[in-house]
């Protein structure tokens, strides 16, 4: 009888591990990652527009929560991102608005490269570090990029400039 329960326990454990492994691989298969990139930060802060990208922003027109540049070989699936005909002067307005907002909450702005599951670049991103960043790839070069939370800046406004209320 002991041997039966030992075998049953082993089978359950192996089955559970297989299920968890399957869930993990399915969950991460289509998701890309955001890689911190100082060159992207510099490009946004120097108002450099890449003509091979389509640009979008999320949040306020005055101080967006995030800026997104997507390689024009990809299609963005989202009604929450606002497309923008990006020029250096328009990028300056958006980036300067973001800088103005983050200066009041003690945060900085950072650039990221969006990498597909195989590590290929598909776009760029600019936001505060804590802004939520998730995207996944779909068929036919369709990309779903989730917007940051609506309270991206507001959650820092009552913290004494982002330094823990000091």
Residue 45 in this model has a pLDDT that exceeds 60: yes
Query: How would you list the strands of the sheet with 134-137, edge to edge?
Result: 75-76, 142-146, 134-137
Q: Taking the domains of the chain in order of start, what are their residue ranges?
A: 1-30, 31-156
Query: Using one digit for the tens of pLDDT, what is the confidence trace for 107-152?
Result: 999 999 999 999 999 999 999 999 988 999 999 999 999 999 888 8
Tell me the C-alpha distance between 35 and 89, whole Å.
26
- pLDDT tens digit sequence for 53-93: 999 999 999 999 999 999 999 999 988 999 999 999 999 99
146 DSSP 8-state letter: E
For the entire predicted model, the pTM comes to 0.78
């Amino acid at each position: 009888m002991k041997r039966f329960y030992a075998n049953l326990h082993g089978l359950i454990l192996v089955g559970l591990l297989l299920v968890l492994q399957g869930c993990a691989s399915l969950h991460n298969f289509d998701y890309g990652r955001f890689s911190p990139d100082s060159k992207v930060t510099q490009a946004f802060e120097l108002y450099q527009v890449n003509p091979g990208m389509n640009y979008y922003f999320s949040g306020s027109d005055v101080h967006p929560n995030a800026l997104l540049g997507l390689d024009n070989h990809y299609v963005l699936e989202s009604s929450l991102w606002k497309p923008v005909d990006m020029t250096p002067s328009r990028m300056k307005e958006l980036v300067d608005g973001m800088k103005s907002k983050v200066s009041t909450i003690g945060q900085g702005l950072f650039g990221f490269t969006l990498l597909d599951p195989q590590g290929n670049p598909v776009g760029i991103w600019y936001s505060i570090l804590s802004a939520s960043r998730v995207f996944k790839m779909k068929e036919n070069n369709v990309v779903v990029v989730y917007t940051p939370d609506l309270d991206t800046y507001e959650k820092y406004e009552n913290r004494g400039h982002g330094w823990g209320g000091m």
